[in-house]
Structure 1
């Protein structure tokens, strides 16, 4: 290849390389523009979403504020509807305090007291009365005695009323009754406040009736159970203050004196036990004389005043009572010898009569009792006792 041909080839290759470089550069510019456009779209989408979220949040906050204002207004309306007396009290108090202050300022100014000083002195009298009033209310809410605050309030208000009364007698000499009205303006607001505050804190009729009934109960208790009440007082004085209340002290003293729970005693337990035994005998009588008596006895037992200490009707009739003995076959092996089952069934009528006698005597239906009455072996009596109890349960059912 000649030199010219090589040179043309080199120039063609250079031109081709330049074209390729320009193509790559153009593609790079286009790709950069596409990436920038894509990023701009993404940024715009993010801004749009953020603006939408901000608008939604603003709308939600606005709705919440409206709901809060509506709830507050509704609460205020409900309070106004449920507290009309409070509104009238506030109105009357304002209508009383303002004229009282104006009258005091006029009285002090008429006595050649400078205006500013007259206003301060008037505020001292009326404001002092109300300052002491609020201090008393705070003390009462804290559980302290407000009596001294109430006395101080009325003394200060009386001084202010005297100033207004003196001013009224001079200012309205032709109408002296106005002096009483001006003097009362310093007292009326305090009086209304006192009624509203202390009158609403008083006890209701039900509370007063309960307190009276409680006091009468305490008097009857001390009269009927003087020794136990005195013992309760001694228990309380022996314990730290407040550690033992009146009811707990009396219950403890009752247990110490009687050994029983409050309102019960050994005599009452004995009476209840005797009544239970008598009722058991009545069941037995009904079982062997007239069946309708048994049904009547069961109904009467439902009204037993000693239900918590009495046994169920089946136990009162001697059913299911074993005493210290267990049922035959529990904890012991069968007797090696004795009467047969047929022989025991032949003895069953006599055993039922013997069991009735045991119940009438207030005793339990036991193997020992049956063995003694029927003069049979102890082992046979145990088996016969089970037959008797099964027969009695069947009859009661």
Structure 2
């Protein structure tokens, strides 16, 4: 290859290289331009997003501020409404308080009105009386106020002393003296001014006295003891006088206790109750004799019920028939008797009640006669050819007799000789002995139980 050809080849290669470099530069420039545009677009997009975020944040903040402002306004309105409600309630309470006071004290309202209607003319009259003598009107007003106001000042001082429990007599005397002086001034003035109308002078003089009189009636006339209080006081004095008459020793002992103890430590009733316990050993109104009488009465009542064990039903029926044909009849508690030899009276069929019935020592006549007759017949048949028990054997059978008696009581039956004889398989005579022993011991136990209950109470 020649030089020229090599040169042309080199130039062509250089030209191709230059073209490629130019194309590369152009491509790079286009890429740079594209990247620049993408960067600008991204920046604008980011700016737009940021702007939207800022606008949203501003809108949210504005909404929050509006909500906060609205809530604050609602809270302020609520506070204002509450304050208005409180003020309204306070006014209503004041009005209600005044209304209640007016309803509860109508006398005070009308007394105050009448007192003002009485005092004001009296003051004006005294001002006119002093003014007619040439005294300056201001001095006349002060002097009149001194006279009327002094009377009322003394009146209220007396009321305060009376409420505190101090003597108030001197205040009342001073009040009436001052009021009479004021009344004299008014009377003198109008008697000299209207000699032909003395009643006018009397009216104005009375205006200085009437208010004081009305107040005195209100503060003293509405107090004091009522009729019921006075009656109760009289009854109490009579009661104390009768107590000292009926219980002289105890009343003297109570006086000694009152004088021995510190003043006010006990009252009269406590001292008398203590003296009663010292002398009688029981609560006021009771005594060992009364307790003994009550206990004996219960024992005698049980013994009276026990008498029915030894009375035949025929005798009881005869007594009731006699009561029925009494010329002074009384209503039978349990109906009319039946005139029959076998049918029992309804009254005889009732079970005994009360403490003696619970103890099993009630009326034995309440048993069915036909049943008793059958029991007696069976016992008599079993007793034929038997023998009586000795005292030692009966003593040995006593616990079994108590058990049998308890069973009879549990069944609602009285403790009878027939019942004991049937259960213990013994003769009727032995049953009667055991029955007497059991009933006496149960009576003693009943008395002991009642005594324990009384002591416990």
Inter-CA distance 17–204: structure 2 relative to 1 (3 Å threshold): same
2:404 counterpart of 1:387 = yes
| 1:290-301 equivalent positions in 2, closer than 5 A | none
Tell me the CA shift for residue 11 of structure 1: 4.8
Q: Which runs of 5+ in 2 are unaligned?
A: 1-20, 320-332, 334-351, 362-378, 380-388, 416-457
Kindly indicate whether the alpha-carbon contact (under 8 Å) linking 1:157 and 1:187 is maintained by their aligned counterparts in 2: yes
Q: TM-score, normalization: structure 1?
A: 0.71
Q: Which runs of 5+ in 1 are unaligned?
A: 294-298, 300-311, 322-345, 347-370
Q: TM-score, normalization: structure 2?
A: 0.63
The 1-side partners of 2:256 and 2:134 are apart by 70
2:225 counterpart of 1:225 = no
| 1:19-168 equivalent positions in 2, closer than 5 A | 19-59=41-81, 61-63=83-85, 65-66=87-88, 69-70=91-92, 72-73=94-95, 76-77=98-99, 79-81=101-103, 83-168=105-190
| 1:187-198 equivalent positions in 2, closer than 5 A | 187-198=209-220
SS at match of 1:395: coil
Tell me the CA shift for residue 190 of structure 1: 1.6
| 1:13-24 equivalent positions in 2, closer than 5 A | 13-24=35-46
Which structure would you say has the larger Rg? 2
The 1-side partners of 2:103 and 2:164 are apart by 29
Tell me the CA shift for residue 237 of structure 1: 1.3
Tell me the CA shift for residue 244 of structure 1: 0.4
Kindly indicate whether the alpha-carbon contact (under 8 Å) linking 2:360 and 2:413 is maintained by their aligned counterparts in 1: no
Larger CA deviation: 94-103 vs 9-18: 9-18
State how many pairs are aligned: 332
Tell me the CA shift for residue 273 of structure 1: 2.6
Aligned partner of 1:206 in structure 2 is: 228
The 1-side partners of 2:282 and 2:103 are apart by 57
Tell me the CA shift for residue 236 of structure 1: 1.0
Q: Give the superposed CA RMSD.
A: 3.5
The 2-side partners of 1:238 and 1:128 are apart by 51
Inter-CA distance 228–113: structure 2 relative to 1 (3 Å threshold): farther
Inter-CA distance 228–30: structure 2 relative to 1 (3 Å threshold): same
Aligned partner of 1:319 in structure 2 is: 359
The 1-side partners of 2:360 and 2:79 are apart by 79
